[in-house]
């Protein structure tokens, strides 16, 4: 009998056509087309694969194919050549979807795509409804027997809970929930998925992953960039809608949820929903103590002076939009009762970093004299999602020498140094999952609702608060109010660069 370990079967997409609405846009150019190219290069796409772009911008098939293939390798061009089409037209024009249906039927015949269609909405949010209704009007929301028709929707999924419910009503009027894949690219990152591996593939962490050992948790999503050319969009979003409602709460749910019975998609997503349900909803009277906002002003150095938010293109000179948001959350369940969770995100901060830091309780008694403790910090487990992806364990250790002195040390795991395998881009992984019909890393309808329930009261409170918005200089760690938020409990933000 051969006892050699079996190789894990590589995942490859079935025959299908990927239809990208918003094909002439920035997201398609920067993320989606490179993801398709990479899947082809890694032999994850069959020869019976086709790509169709749909947008208002007039363009010939050859032009779109050139933009899709660009300077790709000859191998990738050979794999995708002949399977790329473009349909131009308005998203609210039935003729656009009639031409799209004819194109899809032609590709089924000449490319062998088997009637499988994945519709990707890479458009502004206001185009979601006309596209969905257009697909349904042309009968493209239903697949023939043995085939599939699926819908991938980019964020923002609504502006608040009522608008998210309205969008859900539109979506579910044409597509069943199993056909719908709400995408958050953070969940496609290997390092986010590694939170699950760390927790559930290692027995040593489970016993200390609760209120008995954890003092508090910090989740940080910090960016060094400003809003750039996205000022018009950001004015309508702000940090709470753009980052906290989706990225931050998704990472928090993965880090804090109970172990699922299995890694089946619904088992995992059920536990995320339970965690989001357990987060105590903020009330108007305590929001001032639980949430902080801020807006960056001009800052930096004499040689690198950065503009303030109100000076950015497309931004109202009197804007009250927050570019920084911080919150203290409480989870009312058996595992986490009494443990505060501090989350923050901001633009124009000193470092680009996304991490989850679990700080553990200090020893109940230290027999070592204080003068022998050289800046000893509390033990902590830090999950670095980006950049320098990896994990650090912080603990106290004796300093070499004749005296007994203790200071903080750390053990570091680095993805780059440990694994030779190439980590796929987030969109590459998520596109493949959607083609395979695997919803594990996508967001279910009830997850969206519970996320909006958490942030809506804060957004509404800030909209009604006419006091001056707190500010912070570009390249600083945020407004002073954020330090007071965490400092009231005797704690401090982890601000290392």
Two tokens at 271?
Answer: 């536990």
**DSSP codes of every residue in 219-243:** EEEE-SS--TT-HHHHHHHHHIIII
Two tokens at 490?
Answer: 């005797």
Q: Which of 216, 247, 450, 461 is catalytic?
A: 247
Could you tell me which of 476, 448, 486, 459 has the C-alpha nearest to residue 168? 448
**R_g of the chain computed on alpha carbons:** 25
Two tokens at 279?
Answer: 């987060």
* 348 contacts 323 by C-beta, under 8 angstroms: yes
* Cα distance between residue 416 and residue 422, in whole Å: 9
Burial class (CB in 10 A: 0-12, 13-18, 19+), 169: exposed
* 352 contacts 386 by C-beta, under 8 angstroms: yes
Could you tell me which of 123, 192, 165 has the C-alpha nearest to residue 441? 192
The sign of the dihedral angle between the CA atoms of 283, 284, 288, 293 is positive
247 in active site: yes
The sign of the dihedral angle between the CA atoms of 62, 65, 70, 71 is negative
CA-to-CA dists, residue 189 to 184, 186, 223, 426, 454, angstroms: 10, 6, 17, 5, 24
Burial annotation 243-264 (CB, 10 A radius, 16+ → b, else e):
bbbbbbbbbbbbbbbeebeeee
Two tokens at 133?
Answer: 């209704």
Taking the CB of residue 279, how many other CB atoms lie within 10 A of it?
Answer: 22
Q: State the catalytic residues.
A: 247
């Amino acid at each position: 009998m051969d006892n050699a370990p079996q190789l894990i079967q590589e995942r490859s997409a079935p025959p299908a056509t990927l239809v990208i609405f918003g094909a002439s846009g920035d997201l398609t150019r920067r993320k989606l087309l490179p993801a398709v190219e990479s899947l082809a290069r890694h032999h994850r796409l069959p020869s019976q694969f086709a790509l169709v772009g749909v947008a208002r911008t007039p363009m010939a098939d050859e032009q779109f194919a050139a933009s899709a293939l660009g300077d790709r390798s000859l191998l990738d061009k050979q794999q995708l050549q002949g399977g790329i089409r473009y349909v131009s037209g308005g998203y609210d024009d039935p003729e656009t979807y009639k031409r799209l249906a004819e194109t899809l039927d032609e590709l089924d015949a000449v490319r062998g795509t088997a009637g499988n269609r994945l519709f990707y909405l890479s458009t502004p949010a206001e185009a979601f409804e006309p596209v969905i209704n257009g697909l349904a009007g042309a009968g493209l929301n239903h697949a023939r027997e043995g085939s599939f028709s699926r819908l991938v929707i980019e964020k923002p999924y609504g502006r608040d809970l009522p608008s998210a419910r309205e969008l859900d009503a539109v979506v579910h009027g044409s597509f069943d929930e199993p056909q719908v894949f709400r995408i958050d690219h953070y969940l496609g990152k290997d390092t986010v998925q590694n939170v699950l591996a760390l927790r559930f593939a290692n027995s040593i962490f489970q016993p200390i992953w609760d209120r008995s050992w954890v003092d508090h948790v910090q989740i940080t999503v910090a960016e060094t960039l400003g809003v750039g050319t996205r000022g018009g969009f950001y004015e309508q979003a702000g940090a709470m809608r753009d980052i906290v409602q989706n990225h931050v709460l998704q990472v928090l749910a993965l880090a804090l949820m109970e172990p699922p019975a299995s890694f089946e998609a619904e088992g995992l997503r059920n536990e995320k929903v339970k965690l989001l349900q357990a987060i105590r909803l903020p009330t108007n009277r305590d929001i001032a103590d639980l949430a902080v906002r801020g807006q960056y002003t001009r800052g930096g150095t004499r040689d690198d002076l950065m503009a303030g938010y109100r000076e950015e293109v497309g931004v109202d000179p009197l804007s009250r939009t927050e570019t920084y948001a911080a919150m203290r959350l409480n989870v009312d369940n058996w595992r986490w009762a009494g443990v505060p969770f501090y989350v923050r995100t901001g633009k124009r901060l000193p470092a680009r970093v996304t991490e989850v830091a679990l700080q553990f309780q200090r020893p109940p008694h230290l027999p070592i004299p204080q003068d022998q403790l050289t800046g000893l910090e509390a033990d902590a487990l830090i999950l670095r999602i980006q950049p320098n992806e990896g994990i650090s364990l912080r603990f106290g250790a004796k300093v070499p020498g004749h005296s007994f002195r203790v200071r903080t040390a750390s053990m570091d795991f680095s993805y780059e140094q440990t694994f030779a395998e190439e980590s796929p881009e987030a969109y590459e992984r998520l596109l493949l999952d959607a083609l395979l019909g695997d919803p594990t890393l996508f967001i279910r309808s009830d997850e969206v609702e519970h996320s909006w329930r958490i942030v809506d009261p804060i957004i509404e409170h800030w909209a009604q608060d006419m006091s001056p918005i707190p500010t912070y200089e570009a390249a600083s760690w945020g407004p002073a109010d954020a330090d007071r938020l965490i400092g009231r409990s005797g704690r401090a933000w982890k601000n290392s660069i």
